[in-house]
Structure 1
Amino acid sequence: MSNADQITHFWRKADEASELFDRACYTHPLREHHGIKAHQSDLARRHRAGDPHVIRYAGDEADGIPEHYKLAWTTEEKARLQSIYLTARDWSNWTEAENEKESAAKLFVGILEGYGAALPQQVAIELPKQKERQRNLDSVANAFDKLVDSISRLDSAALAWLYATVEENAANVGMSVRPDGPDIVSLKRSWLRALAESGESRDLLNLFHSGVGLSIRKAAATLPKADRDDPRLGKR
């Protein structure tokens, strides 16, 4: 491979990595993490109780930003910290205008405040211990087993009704659970079709279960230890 080809290959891989990074951030939004939700709930409780160190942000539905809360210093605390900074810093090499010193103090205090607000979020998404991560995967397999077992206990009429209801609700959001698509007659108006297709789906579910159940347990047994890199926070 020539140098030019190597450079082209490098940048192609870099672009791909950047795209995947953006997709990971979008599909795993930090605000949906269970630890972040718990942290936000705690901040909301503190805000309702009148805690002056919690600020509420209304959010923006148009931009997909929900209501959220952040930790912050009070105005008095920030003023006091800025005063301490202005007194403690050596200004002998300062080359900017005199009135810019106050801006530098505000910037410094703002950075500290931002780090302080972000720290609980970093703690909130800290990965659990490896054994707990594996147990969580095993619980998925167990839940899947219970789901399949529960479905297997349904009589044919109940299974047909469940299948028809799932098909109806899926069609309402533009999806289809059937190979013929959502446009053919509703299963609730074609009982024999519902019986036939739900019975076929039971066989498919059993086949699916034999592969998925084993795969989940294999994933739990072979789960690599996390390197604790989170694309939503950057390298840690």
Structure 2
Amino acid sequence: MLTLLLHTTDAEQIAQVGACAFGLILAGLPVLQRSTNADCRRAAGPPGESTRIVGPRPRIEPSTTTVVLTVALGVAAFWLLDLVATWVGLGSLGYWSGKHPSDQSEIYRSVALRGFPILGFGVFAVAVAMAHRLHDRARPALFLTSVLYTVSLLVTNAVMVSHWDSEPLPENVYLPVLLGALAWLVSDVGRRYAERTQVLFDLVQAIKLQLRRDAQDPGTGAPVAARRG
């Protein structure tokens, strides 16, 4: 990602790249939410049955669509977070004011170190959101997300080095791999945290599902369970 920013001096172009990634994420989130809602409906049973709110709830199995969408949006979110973290890292290094180390390798290392706190917090939040929706399939999905995120950084660096005909640096390779490994570790911490808060997340989903079913029920508008009683 740093290779992209170092070779793109126009801030407007960088903003456009970030806006495109952000737009893709915003476009995909409603689709993912619909797929997650469908998973909850399947677990809750037929529409005529009341959703279990208190006590053990049915096991939610994420569909293939939910898994694929979650991984795709996760990779896009990681990539966008890396762009923001790199931008902040360059700014804290004094790059935008022209005061920065002359050695390219040192710039890469310094920016990665300065930007990682932002990347780490962002990856943790994204991983928690992903794990809540994927349940038992969260661990392999987060691992795949971290791998694809690493590949996206390597491809970005390779394309920019080739496009600008610049000299490749070791940092073009080992820093993306290192960031990908750290992203996986942070993601796993987020997954473990999500396991402790999964009950609350599932409870909220169950309440929302019951409210939607009550609102869509024809007749008097009273809850199905109440009319049956």
More helix by share: 2
Q: What TM-score, normalized to structure 2?
A: 0.27
Q: What TM-score, normalized to structure 1?
A: 0.27
- Whose Rg is larger? 1
Tell which has more relative contact order, 1 or 2 (C-alpha 8 A, sep 6+).
2
